[in-house]
Amino acid sequence: MYRSGNDINILFGKNLKRIRTQRNISQLTLANMADLTHNFINEIENGRKWISPETLAKLSNALEIEPYQFFTPSSTSLGIKAEFMTSYLDDIQDSFNKMVQELRVRYLPDENM
């Protein structure tokens, strides 16, 4: 639970830094991409500055993400959970395909020739 606007500033800044570093983009490069200053990016990432809707749009466009992604508290763990679920669903799909193939062989022998 967030108790102050400062908590949201910190969350936003941490997510900005995480997304930027995952893409191997420096603060200076991001600043140039978003038509902002390097110092402003640094202040945002450290939770010392808040942004306007226009700046949110600039950062979202520069990083090619949806604006809400800056505000998800557990975005790192969600990424891990999503990766796990994708793997799990792939296993289910493989098992299902094997089962269907076995049933075809067993009950539809004419199709296998």
pLDDT, tens digit (0-9, with 9 covering 90-100), for 9-19: 888 999 999 99
- CB neighbours (10 Å) of residue 29? 15
Say which residues have a Cβ less than 8 Å from residue 8's Cβ, sequence separation at least 6.
2, 71
Distance CA 17, CA 80 (A): 18
27 burial level (CB within 10 Å; 0-12, 13-18, 19+): buried
**Three-state secondary-structure class, residue 52:** coil
Express each pLDDT in 69-104 by its tens digit.
888 875 444 555 555 566 666 677 778 778 888 888
